[in-house]
Amino acid sequence: MSGLIGDWHALLVLLLAGILPNEVWRMLGLWLGGGVDESSELLVWVRAVATAILAGVIAQILVLPPGALATVPAALRYGAVVAGFLAFLGFRRSIFVGVASGEIVMVGGTIWLG
Amino acid sequence: MSCAPRSLFHWPAVSLPPFDSPKWQTSPRAFAQGLRATASTVLTLVLFATYLGIGALAHDTGFSLVWVLASTVFLWAGPAQIILISTLGSGATAAQAAIAVTVSAIRLFPMVVSVLPMLRLPATRKREMILPAHFTAVTLWVECFRLLPLVPRERRIAFTNGLGVGLVTASSIATTIGFLLAANLPRTLAAAILLLTPLAFLLSTARNSHRLVDRLALLLGLALYPLVSMLNTGVDILISGVSAGTIAYGVHVLRKRGA
C-alpha cells in the first residue's frame, strides 16, 4: 500500500471507487424520489430494504472483520454484540448502555483469553 | 458535549424552541439550531467513536491523513469508508472496491427518498436539497425522524444543513485524532474501537424501528447475510438486503389484509 500514501493516485481511487459509487445513490434518491408521497406503501418497502441492507453491512463487519477486529475470536465478536443488544433491551433501550456493555464483554473476554 | 453523565443513560430530551419562537425566524438561526442539536445527541458520541476507528484503520492500512479526511467529508458514510479501506487494504482492485462500496450505499437511496418529503415545500427546488441529500447517512436519517417534526417546515433545510455540518465537523476531528493515535494504540483497544461501528449501527437502527416491518427487516437482514455470504457472489449484501426487506414488507401486507 506504500504507493498509495498521500499521492494523487490514491485520491483518484478514493473519488472513483469511493465517493462516486457512494454519492450516486443519494443523487438518484434526490432525482427520482421527488414525487414519492411521505406515507406511501412504496416507501414502507424501500425503508424495509434500507434497514435490511444496513443489517447486512453490520453482519459483514462481524463475519468478515476489518483490521484489528480480525484478531478477536468470532464467538467473542458475536457474543459481545448479543450482550450489547440484550443490555440495550433490558435498560430502557439505551444506546449508551448497550454499546458500553458490548465493549466490556469484548475487552473483558480478550483479556480473559489472554 | 452538554451531556451530564446521568443524561447519557437515557435518550436526551429534545429541547428545541417552540414553532413561534424568534429563534426560527431566519435560516441562519435555524442552521445554528441544527448545529446546536449535534451536541444534544448520544449519536454524536457514537459517531465520534466510530470515526476514531476509521482514522485508526486508515493509518494502519497505509493511507494518508488527507485521504481519510477527504473520505469523511465527501464520502460521508461510515460502513462504506470501512469497506473501501479494508477492501483496498486487502489487495482488491479499485473496480472490486467500487462494487463493494456501491452495494453498501444502495441503502442511502431509500434514506434520501424518505427524508426529502419532510424537508420539501411546494416551491422548493432540487438544488436546495443537494446538500441535505449529501449529509444523509444513518445518523442524520435517525435524527431527522426524531427532530424534524419539531422544526417549522420552512426552516427544515437550514436546520438539517446545520445538523449535517455539525456531524461532519465532529467526525473529521475524530478521524484526525484516531489517525494520529493509531501508531500508539494497543491491539485490543483498536479492536474495541472497530466494534463500535456494528454495535452503534445495530442499536440506533433498532431504536428507530418502531414498526414491525422495520424490526423484521433488521432481524432478517442480520440472519440472511451470513447465509448469502457463503454464495460469494460479490453482491451478497444486496441479495440479502433486498430479500430480507421484501419478506418483511410481505409480512406487513399480509397482516394489514388480515386485520
Closest B-chain CA to A6: B64
Grid coordinates belonging to B197? 461501528
- Our CA angle for B2, B4, B5, nearest 5°, is 135
CA atoms of A85 and B201, how far apart (whole Å): 11
Check if the beta carbon of residue A109 is closer than 8 Å to that of residue A79.
Answer: yes
Quote the distance between the C-alpha of residue B81 and its chain's center. Answer: 12
Please name the residues in contact with A38: beta carbons below 8 A apart, sequence gap of 6 or more: B114, B117, B118
Q: How large is the average pLDDT for residues A14-28? A: 96
Is pLDDT of A82 > 80? Answer: yes
Min Cα–Cα distance to chain A from B211, Å: 10
The whole-number pLDDT of residue B151 equals 94
B182 touches chain A (CB under 8 A): no
Is pLDDT of A38 > 70? Answer: no
Min Cα–Cα distance to chain B from A114, Å: 11
**pLDDT tens for the 259 residues of chain B, in order:** 333 343 344 444 567 888 888 889 899 999 999 999 998 877 888 889 889 889 988 988 889 999 999 999 999 998 889 888 877 887 778 988 898 788 778 878 888 988 888 998 888 888 999 999 999 998 898 889 889 999 999 999 999 999 999 999 999 999 999 999 887 778 888 889 889 888 988 998 898 788 899 999 999 999 999 999 888 776 787 788 889 999 999 999 999 888 6
**Among residues A6, A97, A82, A64, which one has the least CA distance to residue B194?**
A64
Other C-beta atoms closer than 10 Å to the C-beta of B205 total 22
Asked whether the beta carbons of residue A95 and residue B138 sit closer than 8 angstroms, the reply is no
Domains of chain B by residue range: 22-208, 212-259
Model confidence over A84-105: pLDDT tens digits? Answer: 999 999 998 888 899 999 999 9
| Residue A35's pLDDT band (cuts 50, 70, 90) | low
Identity (one letter) of the amino acid at B17? P
CA atoms of B169 and B198, how far apart (whole Å): 22
| Residue A3's pLDDT band (cuts 50, 70, 90) | very low
End-to-end CA distance of chain A: 31
CA atoms of B253 and B245, how far apart (whole Å): 12
**How many helices and strands (H and E) does chain B possess?**
12, 0
The whole-number pLDDT of residue A37 equals 67
Tracing cell 466490556 back to the chain, one arrives at: A104
Asked whether the beta carbons of residue A51 and residue B203 sit closer than 8 angstroms, the reply is no
Domains of chain A by residue range: 1-35, 36-64, 72-114
pTM (whole model) above 0.90: no
Min Cα–Cα distance to chain A from B24, Å: 24
CA atoms of B140 and B160, how far apart (whole Å): 8
CA atoms of A15 and A29, how far apart (whole Å): 20
End-to-end CA distance of chain B: 46
Integer CA distances (angstroms), B203 to A103, B112, B206, B255, in order = 13, 21, 5, 26
Residues B29/B32/B36/B38 CA torsion (nearest 10 deg): 130
In this predicted complex, what is the ipTM?
0.83
User: Which of A28, A46, A53 is opposite residue B221, by nearest beta carbon?
Assistant: A53
Is pLDDT of A1 > 50? Answer: no
B145 touches chain A (CB under 8 A): no
- What residues in A contact B190, CB-CB < 8 Å? 67-68
**Among residues B103, B154, B152, B113, which one has the least CA distance to residue B133?**
B113
Grid coordinates belonging to B77? 458514510
Check if the beta carbon of residue B174 is closer than 8 Å to that of residue B52.
Answer: yes
Grid coordinates belonging to B51? 470515526
CA atoms of B74 and B68, how far apart (whole Å): 10
Please name the residues in contact with A75: beta carbons below 8 A apart, sequence gap of 6 or more: none
